[in-house]
Structure 1
Amino acid sequence: MNFPYQDIVLRSIAVYFFMTIVLRIFGKKELSQLNTADVILILLISNSVQNAMVGPDTSLTGGLIAALVLFIINFIIKKLIHRYKVVGDLLLDKPQILIHDGKLDFKTLSKLDISDEELKEAMREHGIEFFKNVKLAMLEIDGTISIISEDQKNLKQTHYKRRHNRKNLQKF
Protein backbone atom coordinates (compact mmCIF):
# COMPACT_ATOMS: atom_id res chain seq x y z
CA MET A 1 0.00 0.00 0.00
CA ASN A 2 1.39 3.34 -1.06
CA PHE A 3 0.43 6.44 0.92
CA PRO A 4 -0.06 9.28 -1.64
CA TYR A 5 2.31 11.60 0.21
CA GLN A 6 4.86 8.94 1.19
CA ASP A 7 7.48 10.55 -1.04
CA ILE A 8 7.11 13.91 0.74
CA VAL A 9 7.36 12.22 4.15
CA LEU A 10 10.55 10.36 3.20
CA ARG A 11 12.12 13.41 1.55
CA SER A 12 11.32 15.59 4.57
CA ILE A 13 12.88 13.06 6.94
CA ALA A 14 16.02 12.89 4.79
CA VAL A 15 16.34 16.70 4.68
CA TYR A 16 15.81 16.96 8.45
CA PHE A 17 18.61 14.50 9.18
CA PHE A 18 20.89 16.06 6.58
CA MET A 19 20.43 19.51 8.16
CA THR A 20 20.97 18.07 11.66
CA ILE A 21 24.25 16.47 10.57
CA VAL A 22 25.44 19.61 8.77
CA LEU A 23 24.67 21.81 11.79
CA ARG A 24 26.50 19.33 14.02
CA ILE A 25 29.56 19.42 11.76
CA PHE A 26 29.64 23.19 11.26
CA GLY A 27 28.63 24.03 14.81
CA LYS A 28 25.44 25.36 16.31
CA LYS A 29 27.39 28.01 18.16
CA GLU A 30 27.46 30.02 14.96
CA LEU A 31 23.68 30.31 15.16
CA SER A 32 23.61 31.59 18.75
CA GLN A 33 23.24 35.17 17.57
CA LEU A 34 22.23 35.70 13.98
CA ASN A 35 23.72 38.47 11.87
CA THR A 36 22.59 39.49 8.39
CA ALA A 37 24.71 36.87 6.63
CA ASP A 38 23.28 34.13 8.90
CA VAL A 39 19.69 35.16 8.13
CA ILE A 40 20.45 35.15 4.40
CA LEU A 41 22.04 31.71 4.72
CA ILE A 42 19.00 30.32 6.54
CA LEU A 43 16.63 31.75 3.94
CA LEU A 44 18.69 30.34 1.07
CA ILE A 45 18.98 26.92 2.73
CA SER A 46 15.24 26.76 3.34
CA ASN A 47 14.58 27.68 -0.28
CA SER A 48 17.11 25.16 -1.58
CA VAL A 49 15.75 22.23 0.43
CA GLN A 50 12.08 23.02 -0.18
CA ASN A 51 12.04 21.27 -3.55
CA ALA A 52 14.01 18.37 -2.11
CA MET A 53 11.21 17.83 0.42
CA VAL A 54 8.08 18.29 -1.66
CA GLY A 55 9.41 17.32 -5.08
CA PRO A 56 7.01 18.11 -7.88
CA ASP A 57 4.07 18.47 -5.46
CA THR A 58 3.72 22.21 -4.87
CA SER A 59 0.21 21.96 -3.47
CA LEU A 60 -0.80 23.39 -0.11
CA THR A 61 -1.36 19.87 1.19
CA GLY A 62 2.15 18.81 0.14
CA GLY A 63 3.72 21.80 1.90
CA LEU A 64 1.66 21.26 5.05
CA ILE A 65 2.57 17.57 5.16
CA ALA A 66 6.28 18.41 4.81
CA ALA A 67 6.01 20.96 7.64
CA LEU A 68 4.06 18.49 9.82
CA VAL A 69 6.69 15.81 9.26
CA LEU A 70 9.44 18.25 10.32
CA PHE A 71 7.55 19.14 13.50
CA ILE A 72 6.95 15.48 14.32
CA ILE A 73 10.59 14.51 13.71
CA ASN A 74 11.77 17.43 15.85
CA PHE A 75 9.39 16.40 18.66
CA ILE A 76 10.58 12.77 18.50
CA ILE A 77 14.27 13.76 18.43
CA LYS A 78 13.82 16.01 21.50
CA LYS A 79 12.11 13.17 23.36
CA LEU A 80 14.92 10.77 22.39
CA ILE A 81 17.58 13.26 23.50
CA HIS A 82 15.97 13.54 26.93
CA ARG A 83 15.41 9.81 27.26
CA TYR A 84 18.66 8.38 25.85
CA LYS A 85 22.01 9.95 26.71
CA VAL A 86 23.71 8.47 23.63
CA VAL A 87 21.33 10.35 21.30
CA GLY A 88 22.03 13.60 23.14
CA ASP A 89 25.76 12.95 22.94
CA LEU A 90 25.49 12.49 19.17
CA LEU A 91 23.35 15.55 18.49
CA LEU A 92 24.25 18.11 21.15
CA ASP A 93 27.47 19.96 21.81
CA LYS A 94 29.04 19.81 25.24
CA PRO A 95 29.71 22.88 27.39
CA GLN A 96 33.38 23.88 27.19
CA ILE A 97 35.51 25.36 29.96
CA LEU A 98 37.21 28.55 28.78
CA ILE A 99 38.64 29.86 32.06
CA HIS A 100 39.12 27.97 35.33
CA ASP A 101 40.37 29.75 38.45
CA GLY A 102 41.69 32.68 36.40
CA LYS A 103 43.62 30.47 33.94
CA LEU A 104 42.62 30.56 30.30
CA ASP A 105 42.36 27.27 28.40
CA PHE A 106 44.18 28.38 25.24
CA LYS A 107 43.70 25.04 23.49
CA THR A 108 39.91 25.18 23.87
CA LEU A 109 39.75 28.89 23.01
CA SER A 110 41.75 28.24 19.85
CA LYS A 111 39.65 25.22 18.88
CA LEU A 112 36.44 27.23 19.33
CA ASP A 113 37.84 30.35 17.62
CA ILE A 114 37.08 32.56 20.61
CA SER A 115 39.29 35.63 20.74
CA ASP A 116 40.45 37.39 23.86
CA GLU A 117 38.26 40.36 22.87
CA GLU A 118 35.13 38.18 22.84
CA LEU A 119 36.08 36.80 26.23
CA LYS A 120 36.75 40.28 27.62
CA GLU A 121 33.40 41.51 26.30
CA ALA A 122 31.62 38.66 28.08
CA MET A 123 33.54 39.44 31.26
CA ARG A 124 32.61 43.14 31.09
CA GLU A 125 28.95 42.18 30.68
CA HIS A 126 29.31 40.22 33.92
CA GLY A 127 31.05 43.12 35.66
CA ILE A 128 34.47 41.47 35.73
CA GLU A 129 37.60 43.34 34.68
CA PHE A 130 40.46 40.83 34.93
CA PHE A 131 40.87 37.18 33.90
CA LYS A 132 42.26 36.42 37.36
CA ASN A 133 38.86 37.31 38.87
CA VAL A 134 37.05 34.64 36.84
CA LYS A 135 36.38 31.47 38.80
CA LEU A 136 34.76 29.73 35.82
CA ALA A 137 33.86 30.73 32.26
CA MET A 138 31.96 28.24 30.11
CA LEU A 139 30.83 28.22 26.51
CA GLU A 140 27.35 26.74 26.91
CA ILE A 141 25.66 24.45 24.39
CA ASP A 142 23.50 27.32 23.15
CA GLY A 143 26.54 29.47 22.31
CA THR A 144 26.38 31.74 25.35
CA ILE A 145 29.37 32.38 27.59
CA SER A 146 28.51 31.99 31.27
CA ILE A 147 30.88 33.47 33.83
CA ILE A 148 31.15 32.99 37.58
CA SER A 149 33.42 35.44 39.34
CA GLU A 150 35.65 34.95 42.37
CA ASP A 151 33.44 37.40 44.22
CA GLN A 152 30.01 35.75 44.29
CA LYS A 153 28.46 39.18 44.92
CA ASN A 154 29.27 40.05 41.31
CA LEU A 155 27.34 37.07 39.97
CA LYS A 156 24.88 38.35 37.40
CA GLN A 157 22.09 36.69 35.47
CA THR A 158 23.30 37.86 32.08
CA HIS A 159 24.54 35.82 29.14
CA TYR A 160 26.93 36.86 26.44
CA LYS A 161 25.94 35.65 22.98
CA ARG A 162 28.75 35.11 20.49
CA ARG A 163 28.25 37.40 17.53
CA HIS A 164 30.29 35.45 15.01
CA ASN A 165 32.87 32.77 14.66
CA ARG A 166 36.22 34.47 14.14
CA LYS A 167 38.72 32.73 11.92
CA ASN A 168 41.78 34.84 12.81
CA LEU A 169 42.56 34.45 16.48
CA GLN A 170 44.32 37.20 18.29
CA LYS A 171 47.19 36.23 20.54
CA PHE A 172 46.23 36.03 24.17
Structure 2
Amino acid sequence: MMNEYFNLIFKCFFFYFMIIFALRCMGKREIGELSIFDIVIYLVMSELLALSLTENSDSILKTLIPLITLSALQVIVAFLIMKFEGFRTLIDGKPVILIRNGLIDQQAMKKERYNIDDLMMQVRECSIGSIHEIAFGILETNGKLTLLKKNDCKVKYPFPLIQDGKLQREHLQMSGFDIHEIMHSMRQQGIADVADVFLCMATKSGFSFISKSSLAFSRTSTL
Protein backbone atom coordinates (compact mmCIF):
# COMPACT_ATOMS: atom_id res chain seq x y z
CA MET A 1 0.00 0.00 0.00
CA MET A 2 2.80 2.44 0.91
CA ASN A 3 4.53 1.68 -2.39
CA GLU A 4 1.39 2.75 -4.25
CA TYR A 5 1.34 6.05 -2.39
CA PHE A 6 5.03 6.69 -3.04
CA ASN A 7 4.51 5.80 -6.70
CA LEU A 8 1.64 8.28 -6.93
CA ILE A 9 3.72 11.04 -5.31
CA PHE A 10 6.61 10.29 -7.70
CA LYS A 11 4.27 10.53 -10.69
CA CYS A 12 2.91 13.88 -9.50
CA PHE A 13 6.43 15.32 -9.17
CA PHE A 14 7.63 13.79 -12.43
CA PHE A 15 4.74 14.95 -14.63
CA TYR A 16 4.55 18.34 -12.91
CA PHE A 17 8.06 19.19 -14.07
CA MET A 18 7.62 17.32 -17.35
CA ILE A 19 4.58 19.40 -18.34
CA ILE A 20 6.35 22.63 -17.30
CA PHE A 21 9.27 21.62 -19.51
CA ALA A 22 6.92 20.78 -22.40
CA LEU A 23 5.10 24.11 -22.11
CA ARG A 24 8.41 26.00 -22.05
CA CYS A 25 9.45 24.21 -25.23
CA MET A 26 6.18 25.19 -26.90
CA GLY A 27 6.74 28.89 -26.17
CA LYS A 28 5.29 31.54 -23.88
CA ARG A 29 1.71 32.63 -24.46
CA GLU A 30 -0.79 34.25 -22.14
CA ILE A 31 -3.94 32.29 -21.32
CA GLY A 32 -6.08 34.82 -23.16
CA GLU A 33 -3.94 34.45 -26.29
CA LEU A 34 -4.33 30.69 -26.63
CA SER A 35 -5.51 29.45 -30.00
CA ILE A 36 -7.98 26.59 -30.42
CA PHE A 37 -5.05 24.28 -31.16
CA ASP A 38 -3.29 25.35 -27.93
CA ILE A 39 -6.40 24.66 -25.87
CA VAL A 40 -6.80 21.20 -27.42
CA ILE A 41 -3.17 20.35 -26.66
CA TYR A 42 -3.46 21.43 -23.02
CA LEU A 43 -6.73 19.54 -22.52
CA VAL A 44 -5.22 16.35 -23.94
CA MET A 45 -2.15 16.79 -21.73
CA SER A 46 -4.34 17.11 -18.64
CA GLU A 47 -6.25 13.95 -19.61
CA LEU A 48 -3.00 12.04 -20.10
CA LEU A 49 -1.81 13.14 -16.67
CA ALA A 50 -5.10 12.08 -15.07
CA LEU A 51 -4.94 8.64 -16.71
CA SER A 52 -1.33 8.13 -15.66
CA LEU A 53 -2.08 8.96 -12.02
CA THR A 54 -4.88 6.42 -11.87
CA GLU A 55 -3.06 3.59 -13.64
CA ASN A 56 -0.34 1.27 -12.38
CA SER A 57 3.38 1.96 -12.11
CA ASP A 58 4.30 0.85 -15.63
CA SER A 59 2.16 3.58 -17.22
CA ILE A 60 4.75 6.41 -17.05
CA LEU A 61 6.33 5.62 -20.40
CA LYS A 62 2.91 5.24 -22.00
CA THR A 63 2.10 8.77 -20.89
CA LEU A 64 5.53 10.23 -21.59
CA ILE A 65 5.57 9.23 -25.27
CA PRO A 66 2.23 10.94 -26.12
CA LEU A 67 3.31 13.98 -24.09
CA ILE A 68 6.53 14.35 -26.06
CA THR A 69 4.64 13.72 -29.32
CA LEU A 70 2.12 16.47 -28.51
CA SER A 71 4.89 18.91 -27.57
CA ALA A 72 6.71 18.20 -30.84
CA LEU A 73 3.47 18.60 -32.78
CA GLN A 74 2.82 21.95 -31.14
CA VAL A 75 6.33 23.21 -32.01
CA ILE A 76 5.88 22.10 -35.64
CA VAL A 77 2.46 23.73 -35.92
CA ALA A 78 3.78 26.95 -34.33
CA PHE A 79 6.57 27.03 -36.95
CA LEU A 80 4.09 26.48 -39.80
CA ILE A 81 1.82 29.21 -38.41
CA MET A 82 4.76 31.61 -38.33
CA LYS A 83 5.95 30.79 -41.87
CA PHE A 84 2.70 30.31 -43.80
CA GLU A 85 -0.10 32.86 -43.65
CA GLY A 86 -2.71 30.47 -45.09
CA PHE A 87 -1.97 27.85 -42.46
CA ARG A 88 -2.10 30.53 -39.75
CA THR A 89 -5.55 31.57 -40.95
CA LEU A 90 -6.70 27.94 -41.00
CA ILE A 91 -5.61 27.32 -37.40
CA ASP A 92 -6.15 30.71 -35.72
CA GLY A 93 -8.67 32.40 -38.00
CA LYS A 94 -8.64 36.14 -38.73
CA PRO A 95 -9.49 39.18 -36.62
CA VAL A 96 -12.74 40.87 -37.68
CA ILE A 97 -13.76 44.52 -37.49
CA LEU A 98 -17.16 44.73 -35.74
CA ILE A 99 -17.17 48.51 -35.19
CA ARG A 100 -15.74 51.11 -37.53
CA ASN A 101 -15.93 54.85 -36.94
CA GLY A 102 -18.81 54.43 -34.50
CA LEU A 103 -20.85 52.15 -36.78
CA ILE A 104 -21.61 48.49 -36.01
CA ASP A 105 -21.11 45.95 -38.78
CA GLN A 106 -24.20 43.84 -38.16
CA GLN A 107 -23.38 41.35 -40.92
CA ALA A 108 -19.95 40.68 -39.39
CA MET A 109 -21.57 40.15 -35.99
CA LYS A 110 -24.02 37.61 -37.42
CA LYS A 111 -21.22 35.79 -39.22
CA GLU A 112 -19.18 35.55 -36.01
CA ARG A 113 -22.30 34.68 -33.94
CA TYR A 114 -21.56 37.65 -31.70
CA ASN A 115 -24.60 39.17 -30.01
CA ILE A 116 -25.21 42.78 -29.02
CA ASP A 117 -25.24 41.96 -25.29
CA ASP A 118 -21.67 40.60 -25.47
CA LEU A 119 -20.63 43.64 -27.48
CA MET A 120 -22.11 46.20 -25.11
CA MET A 121 -20.77 44.39 -22.04
CA GLN A 122 -17.20 44.63 -23.35
CA VAL A 123 -17.74 48.25 -24.38
CA ARG A 124 -18.80 49.09 -20.82
CA GLU A 125 -15.88 47.11 -19.37
CA CYS A 126 -13.55 49.48 -21.26
CA SER A 127 -15.30 52.49 -19.62
CA ILE A 128 -16.79 53.58 -22.95
CA GLY A 129 -20.27 55.07 -22.77
CA SER A 130 -21.24 55.02 -26.43
CA ILE A 131 -20.45 53.10 -29.60
CA HIS A 132 -19.93 56.49 -31.30
CA GLU A 133 -16.75 56.99 -29.23
CA ILE A 134 -15.10 53.98 -30.87
CA ALA A 135 -12.85 54.23 -33.94
CA PHE A 136 -12.41 50.46 -34.30
CA GLY A 137 -13.82 47.46 -32.46
CA ILE A 138 -11.88 44.35 -33.44
CA LEU A 139 -12.84 40.79 -32.56
CA GLU A 140 -9.45 39.11 -32.14
CA THR A 141 -8.69 35.50 -33.01
CA ASN A 142 -8.74 34.58 -29.30
CA GLY A 143 -12.31 35.90 -28.93
CA LYS A 144 -11.32 39.12 -27.16
CA LEU A 145 -12.82 42.42 -28.34
CA THR A 146 -10.22 45.16 -28.77
CA LEU A 147 -11.65 48.69 -28.69
CA LEU A 148 -9.77 51.74 -29.98
CA LYS A 149 -11.24 55.09 -28.96
CA LYS A 150 -11.48 57.84 -31.58
CA ASN A 151 -9.52 60.29 -29.42
CA ASP A 152 -6.69 57.81 -28.79
CA CYS A 153 -6.57 55.97 -32.13
CA LYS A 154 -3.54 56.92 -34.22
CA VAL A 155 -4.23 54.66 -37.20
CA LYS A 156 -6.58 55.04 -40.16
CA TYR A 157 -6.84 51.27 -40.47
CA PRO A 158 -5.97 48.79 -37.69
CA PHE A 159 -4.49 45.95 -39.77
CA PRO A 160 -1.17 45.81 -41.69
CA LEU A 161 -1.24 46.77 -45.37
CA ILE A 162 2.09 45.01 -45.90
CA GLN A 163 3.21 42.21 -43.61
CA ASP A 164 6.42 40.21 -43.77
CA GLY A 165 7.12 41.26 -47.35
CA LYS A 166 3.61 40.51 -48.68
CA LEU A 167 0.84 42.86 -49.71
CA GLN A 168 -2.31 42.23 -47.67
CA ARG A 169 -4.74 42.64 -50.58
CA GLU A 170 -7.83 41.96 -48.50
CA HIS A 171 -6.85 44.73 -46.08
CA LEU A 172 -6.03 47.06 -48.95
CA GLN A 173 -9.46 46.49 -50.45
CA MET A 174 -11.28 46.96 -47.14
CA SER A 175 -9.28 50.06 -46.17
CA GLY A 176 -9.67 51.78 -49.54
CA PHE A 177 -6.02 52.82 -49.83
CA ASP A 178 -4.38 53.01 -53.25
CA ILE A 179 -1.48 50.62 -53.73
CA HIS A 180 0.33 53.16 -55.94
CA GLU A 181 0.18 55.71 -53.14
CA ILE A 182 1.69 53.20 -50.72
CA MET A 183 4.44 52.24 -53.19
CA HIS A 184 5.29 55.92 -53.77
CA SER A 185 5.50 56.55 -50.03
CA MET A 186 7.62 53.42 -49.58
CA ARG A 187 10.17 54.50 -52.20
CA GLN A 188 10.30 58.01 -50.72
CA GLN A 189 11.51 56.39 -47.53
CA GLY A 190 14.27 54.48 -49.33
CA ILE A 191 12.62 51.05 -49.51
CA ALA A 192 12.85 49.64 -53.02
CA ASP A 193 10.61 46.58 -52.86
CA VAL A 194 7.57 45.29 -50.98
CA ALA A 195 9.60 42.18 -50.13
CA ASP A 196 11.89 44.41 -48.02
CA VAL A 197 9.00 45.62 -45.82
CA PHE A 198 8.41 43.82 -42.54
CA LEU A 199 5.35 45.90 -41.61
CA CYS A 200 3.38 48.80 -43.09
CA MET A 201 0.61 50.57 -41.16
CA ALA A 202 -1.58 53.49 -42.22
CA THR A 203 -1.50 56.11 -39.46
CA LYS A 204 -3.21 59.48 -39.32
CA SER A 205 0.10 61.18 -40.11
CA GLY A 206 1.15 58.88 -42.95
CA PHE A 207 2.29 55.40 -43.89
CA SER A 208 4.72 53.93 -41.37
CA PHE A 209 7.15 51.26 -42.53
CA ILE A 210 9.40 48.83 -40.71
CA SER A 211 12.01 47.41 -43.06
CA LYS A 212 13.29 43.87 -42.70
CA SER A 213 16.90 45.02 -42.68
CA SER A 214 16.69 47.58 -39.89
CA LEU A 215 13.54 46.45 -38.04
CA ALA A 216 13.19 50.07 -36.99
CA PHE A 217 10.51 52.60 -37.77
CA SER A 218 11.34 54.86 -40.66
CA ARG A 219 9.99 58.36 -41.15
CA THR A 220 6.30 58.67 -41.92
CA SER A 221 5.14 60.09 -45.21
CA THR A 222 2.15 62.42 -45.27
CA LEU A 223 -0.95 60.89 -46.82
Which interval holds the TM-score relative to the shorter structure? 0.5 to 0.7
| Bigger Rg over Cα | 2
The 1:44–1:59 alpha-carbon spacing in structure 2 relative to 1, beyond 3 Å, is closer
CA distance in 1, matches of 2:44, 2:62: 20
The equivalent residue for 1:150 is 150
CA distance in 2, matches of 1:144, 1:137: 10
Residue type matched to 1:88 in 2? R
CA distance in 1, matches of 2:43, 2:97: 33
Residue type matched to 1:114 in 2? Y
Report 1:2-81 matches (<5 A).
47=47, 59-81=59-81
Equivalences, count: 108
Computed over aligned residues only, the root mean square deviation of the Cα atoms, in angstroms, reads: 2.9
CA distance in 2, matches of 1:108, 1:32: 22
How far apart are 1:144 and its partner, in Å?
0.6
CA distance in 2, matches of 1:151, 1:124: 17
SS at match of 1:138: strand
Stretches of structure 2 lacking an aligned partner (at least 5 in a row):
1-30, 34-41, 52-57, 154-223
The 1:45–1:69 alpha-carbon spacing in structure 2 relative to 1, beyond 3 Å, is closer
SS at match of 1:152: coil
The equivalent residue for 1:136 is 136
The equivalent residue for 1:100 is 100
CA distance in 1, matches of 2:148, 2:86: 29
Aligned residues of 2:45 and 2:67 also touching (Cα < 8 A): no
Aligned residues of 2:99 and 2:105 also touching (Cα < 8 A): yes
CA distance in 1, matches of 2:44, 2:78: 25
Stretches of structure 1 lacking an aligned partner (at least 5 in a row):
1-30, 34-41, 52-57, 154-172
SS at match of 2:73: helix
CA distance in 2, matches of 1:115, 1:70: 35
Residues 120-157 of structure 1 show CA distances to partners (whole Å, capped at 9, x for unaligned) of: 1111122211111111000001111000111219xxxx
CA distance in 2, matches of 1:46, 1:111: 33
Query: Normalization by structure 1: what TM-score?
Result: 0.54
How far apart are 1:108 and its partner, in Å?
1.1
Residues 55-97 of structure 1 show CA distances to partners (whole Å, capped at 9, x for unaligned) of: xxx7210110001000000011101110122221221210011
CA distance in 1, matches of 2:133, 2:47: 47
CA distance in 2, matches of 1:81, 1:43: 20
SS at match of 1:143: coil
